[in-house]
Amino acid sequence: EMEEYNEPPQDLIDYILSDECKGIAVLSGAGISVSAGIPDFRSPGGMYDTLRPELLTATTEQQQLMEVDPTAVVECGMFFSNQFPYLEVRKPFIIGTAEEKWKATPSHWFLRLLHDKQKLLRLYTQNIDGLDLQVGIPNEKIINVHGTIGSISCENCGVEYPRDDFMNKLKSNIKDIYGIDETAPKESKNILCLKCEQPTVKPSTVLYGSSLPSNFFTCVEEDFPDNVDLLLVIGTSLTVYPAAGLVDRVSPTCRRVLVNRDNVVSPFGSLGVFGKQKIEQNRNYFLKGNCDEVIEKLVNALGWKEDFNNLLPK
């Protein structure tokens, strides 16, 4: 059963503090960044919900496609035929991220604390916001499952594009559909790759229909199931695969903790993906609530409050 807890149970706390628990794998989603003010694409009022295709530089056919399915904005075929919808829609987000307009949340800093305590095996983040990169976790421990907005590269040939140069080009070449930048051009002009000269430069996020970064698959093979002593799932509804599949790659006795506002519902019934394997001991914990609030309770129960407070930016 998926037990729901308002306070972290003692057996879980004891296990995390024990020497047995030395490899915690974390799978994080949009919920971990909500308190930073990051716009969540899928929520009501999010990017997909409020998309206005008629404002975008696109053919009538492309606009109609985005009207029917807003995710077409970040779809591979669309981008290769027209880079403007992606760049116009995401322009404020790309610039805001580069300027660190949004700051890592207490939940992100908790992951850094797990690293400092030598408990963090790997962080698999589904977020593209780059907040995970602000807290000082070594890069090799972070897998950006869906890419990251924090680096720029060519979708066609893969060559990196200098970030500062790209930001300048984004400001000078791409029009403003939100009415927030008076200095933006009235019409968008392509940003070309410095090597292959195609209009296919963008932040290194994974487009729909593209393959995931190869290091995702390599690290999953390396980590699961043998090196994962505990799987911590934070702020994700576990609907997007293959990331959501990680919950089934752990060993049959590995403890799994879900920190989320809602229990996860999936094809496996109300227990979500967690209800699949029936075993003797209860190994599934649902800590219900907003990420930061639950993490604060967890930190206090672990006796890590002082270390945690020392990490947090003053």
Question: 108 catalytic, yes or no?
Answer: no
- DSSP, collapsed to helix, strand or coil, labels residue 7 as coil
- Residue 281 has a pLDDT of 52
Mean pLDDT of the chain: 91
**Buried-exposed string 261-279: b where 16+ CB fall within 10 A, e elsewhere:** eeebebeeeebbbbeeeee
Beta-bridge mates of residue 24: 120, 230
- Residue 4 has a pLDDT of 82
Q: Which amino acid is at 97?
A: T
pLDDT (average), residues 202-220: 95
Q: How many residues can be counted in the chain?
A: 314
- Residue 283 has a pLDDT of 84
Q: Name the percent of the chain lying above pLDDT 70.
A: 93
Q: Are 260 and 236 in contact (CB under 8 A)?
A: yes
Question: Residue 241 above 90 pLDDT?
Answer: no
Question: Residue 156 above 80 pLDDT?
Answer: yes
Identify which has the larger pLDDT, 166 or 242: 166
- DSSP, collapsed to helix, strand or coil, labels residue 150 as strand
- Token digits for 84? 């403007």
Using pLDDT thresholds of 50, 70 and 90, give the confidence band for residue 49: confident
Q: Which of 26-40, 65-79, 121-135, 214-228 has the lowest mean pLDDT?
A: 26-40
Q: Are 243 and 269 in contact (CB under 8 A)?
A: no
- DSSP, collapsed to helix, strand or coil, labels residue 215 as helix
Global pTM reads: 0.90
ω into residue 70 within 30 of 0, thus cis? no
Identify which has the larger pLDDT, 114 or 44: 114
Q: What is the pLDDT of residues 169-189, one digit of tens each?
A: 999 999 999 999 999 999 999
Question: Residue 275 above 70 pLDDT?
Answer: no
Q: Which amino acid is at 28?
A: S
pLDDT (average), residues 207-220: 95
CA distance 290 to 239: 19
Question: Residue 267 above 70 pLDDT?
Answer: no
CA distance 116 to 250: 23
Q: Catalytic residue, from 91, 108, 146, 283: name it.
A: 146
